[in-house]
Amino acid sequence: MSISQHPYISLAQESIQHYLIHQTRLPCPESLPQDLKSPSGAFVSIKKLKQLRGCIGTLEPCEPNLAMEIIENALKAALQDPRFSPVTSEELQDLTYSIDVVRPLEKISGPAELDPHVYGLVVRSNGRQGVLLPDLEGVDTVEEQIQICRSKGGIHDGDPIDLYRFKVERFR
């Protein structure tokens, strides 16, 4: 762990390492900086050699504080992302992390209020939803962003949709 590494990244990394060694969840650190004490949704993304290895998150807080949200979502991204096999101890040295702290969702009236480089997107229809974080490599248009969300949520092209945008604060 490098000295200059952001505390959010360190917490995600420690969470995964702790679980792989002890098979238990990392306890919440006792002394937390103020920004980790408040509840917030957060996504933890893990890459191995620049390729996605896991990403799980919450749009709204599910834990009592951001520290626990990061600890929990780091474990889920490493061990429970259905697209990937669980992370192993042997991979740890090849992993990099990013944390996206989610700001509140805003319902919007249409695509004109989106910018894929600024806003994440939630597309909802008939109890289904697709979510996409902002500023992702290869997602450059609003149309791509909406289509990816529809696909992720199993929402057909003709289905009526509600759009919600959100901003994130990203830490790498």
CA separation, residue 7 to residues 3, 85, 88, 120 (Å):
10, 27, 23, 23
Q: Which of the four CATH numbers 3.30.1490.150, 3.20.20.70, 3.40.50.1010, 3.40.50.300 does domain 106-171 have?
A: 3.30.1490.150
Walk along the chain (172 residues) and give the pLDDT tens digit of each residue: 444 689 999 999 999 999 999 999 999 999 999 999 999 999 999 999 999 999 999 999 999 999 999 999 999 999 999 999 999 999 999 999 999 999 999 999 999 999 999 999 999 999 999 999 999 999 999 999 999 999 999 999 999 999 999 999 999 9
Q: What are phi and psi of 134, to 5 degrees?
A: -80, 165
Closest CA to 96 of 120, 76, 78, 72: 78
CA distance 77 to 92: 13
pTM of the model: 0.92
Q: Which CATH superfamily is domain 7-102 in?
A: Hypothetical protein ph0010; domain 1 (3.30.700.20)
